[in-house]
């Protein structure tokens, strides 16, 4: 799920569909995408797999969509196999009717239900009432251009996005677990650990890999709430990209349960800069590691309710206050312009 405030006309299906890869961060396939709108402005965008269980989860999808109290919603089914199938259209009509009824119960109007074979130049969309058209070039979408200017990478598939946080060497990751356990009885010097994390972030951003012992020490340090809560502030500083590189590297290297803190730090950093797709996959992985993780749960609820990145950034103020108490100077806050996604 992600959100956008970018100026965008929702009444052109070909343009709306072409914008979905930039909003989601990847090109959806075999998916139901639900776009909410409030006063003509795009709000939350949610994607679920087309599956046999989809009908049973429509109520939940509608509740999530309605959480931010939008006026309306538009549904897009992406299905290369079923886009021109009469039987599939009957199934989609049933799905659309149920979705419309669930949304109506929550005072949200389902404006349109589109079916598209592929989101690419030349892709064909149609409505169940017979209207049809072609998909605009996704690469030329204003949202895609804004995402590229914003430094966001767009992925061909959701699995490619998930690889950003996937453990790359399972054996090495498991070996780190023993090293981290060996540090468990040691005290954490919070100020020193925060400085160490900033130094490591600069190192990783320069293309260097952290040695196993350094990675283990950071993982152990993140179990200290004071260290962890201070480091959230890096997401709004002018070295945020360095910190995000470190969190991503730790996600790919650490075993559970220690990787959960790196996942949540990465999610917060991505969310703060408006990258809902990366925040979403990171939070999904974090909650698999620890379903009771408070920060992961809070950020996940915020993301699904459509809370804007500028609101999430306010949480970083706690980190700056903690850093001041520790006598640690954090990077200066960066200024934020208009961002996509």
Q: What is the pLDDT of residue 151?
A: 56
Per the structure, the count of domains in the chain is 2
Q: Do both 59 and 130 map to the same domain?
A: yes
Q: What is the pLDDT of residue 340?
A: 29
Final residue belonging to a domain, choices 155, 187, 206:
155
Q: Do both 28 and 149 map to the same domain?
A: yes
CATH of the domain at 100: 3.40.140
Q: What is the pLDDT of residue 141?
A: 76
Q: Do both 8 and 107 map to the same domain?
A: yes
Range of the domain at 262: 163-326
Q: Do both 100 and 38 map to the same domain?
A: yes
CA distances from 263 to 157, 186, 289, 290, 323 (A): 20, 23, 10, 11, 21
Per-residue pLDDT tens for 27-63?
999 999 999 888 777 878 888 889 888 888 899 889 9
Q: What is the pLDDT of residue 41?
A: 77
Final residue belonging to a domain, choices 110, 130, 155:
155
Give CA–CA dist 180/322, Å, rounded: 25
Residue ranges of the chain whose pLDDT lies below 70: 1-10, 82-88, 144-154, 336-341
Give CA–CA dist 115/81, Å, rounded: 11
Q: What is the pLDDT of residue 1?
A: 47
């Amino acid at each position: 799920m992600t959100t956008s405030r970018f100026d965008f006309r929702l009444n052109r299906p070909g343009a709306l569909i072409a914008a979905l890869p930039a909003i989601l961060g990847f090109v959806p396939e075999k998916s139901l995408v639900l776009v909410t709108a409030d006063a003509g402005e795009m709000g939350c965008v949610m994607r679920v797999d087309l599956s046999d269980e989809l009908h049973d989860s429509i109520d939940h999808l509608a509740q999530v969509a309605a959480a931010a109290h939008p006026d309306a919603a538009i549904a897009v089914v992406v299905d290369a196999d079923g886009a021109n199938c009469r039987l599939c259209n009957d199934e989609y009509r049933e799905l659309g009717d149920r979705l419309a009824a669930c949304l109506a119960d929550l005072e949200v109007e389902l404006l349109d239900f589109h079916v598209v074979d592929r989101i690419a130049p030349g892709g064909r969309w149609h409505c169940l009432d017979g209207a049809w058209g072609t998909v605009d070039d996704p690469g030329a979408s204003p949202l895609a251009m804004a995402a590229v200017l914003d430094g966001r990478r767009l992925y061909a598939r959701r699995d490619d996005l998930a690889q950003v946080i996937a453990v790359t060497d399972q054996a090495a990751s498991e070996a780190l677990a023993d090293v981290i356990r060996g540090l468990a009885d040691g005290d954490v010097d919070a100020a020193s650990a925060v400085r160490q994390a900033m130094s490591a972030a600069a190192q990783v951003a320069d293309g260097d890999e952290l040695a196993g012992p350094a990675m283990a020490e950071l993982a152990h340090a993140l179990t200290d709430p004071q260290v962890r809560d201070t480091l959230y502030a890096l997401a709004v500083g002018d070295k945020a990209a360095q910190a995000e590189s470190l969190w991503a590297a730790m996600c790919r290297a650490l075993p559970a349960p220690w990787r959960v803190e790196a996942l949540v730090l990465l999610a917060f950093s991505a969310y703060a800069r408006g990258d809902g797709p990366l925040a979403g996959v990171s939070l999904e992985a974090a909650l698999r590691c620890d379903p009771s993780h408070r920060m992961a749960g809070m950020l996940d609820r915020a993301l699904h309710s459509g809370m804007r990145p500028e609101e999430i950034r306010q949480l970083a103020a706690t980190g700056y206050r903690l850093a001041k108490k520790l006598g640690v100077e954090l990077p200066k806050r960066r200024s934020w312009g208009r961002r996509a996604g």
